[in-house]
A and B are shown apart, each in its own frame.
Chain A
Amino acid sequence: GAGVSQSPRYKVAKRGQDVALRCDPISGHVSLFWYQQALGQGPEFLTYFQNEAQLDKSGLPSDRFFAERPEGSVSTLKIQRTQQEDSAVYLCASSPGTSGKEEQFFGPGTRLTVL
Chain B
Amino acid sequence: AQSVTQLGSHVSVSEGALVLLRCNYSSSVPPYLFWYVQYPNQGLQLLLKYTSAATLVKGINGFEAEFKKSETSFHLTKPSAHMSDAAEYFCAVSVRNTPLVFGKGTRLSVIA
Contact = CB atoms under 8 A, between A and B. Distances in A.
Interface residues of B, number: 25
B57 interface: no
Contact of B100 (A98, A99, A104, A109): A104
B61 to A, nearest CB: 15
A57 B107 CA distance: 30
A107 B43 CA distance: 5
B26 interface: no
B83 interface: no
Contact of B95 (A98, A100, A106): A100
Interface stretch (A41-49, A66-74, A77-85): A41-49
B49 A42 contact: no
A1 to B, nearest CB: 16
A100 B44 contact: no
Given A98-B97, A108-B42, A108-B43, A103 B49 contact: yes
A29 B5 CA distance: 30
B99 A59 contact: yes
A18 to B, nearest CB: 25
Interface in A45-60: 45, 48, 56, 59
Interface of A: 4, 33, 35, 40-45, 48, 56, 59, 91, 93, 98-101, 103-104, 106-109
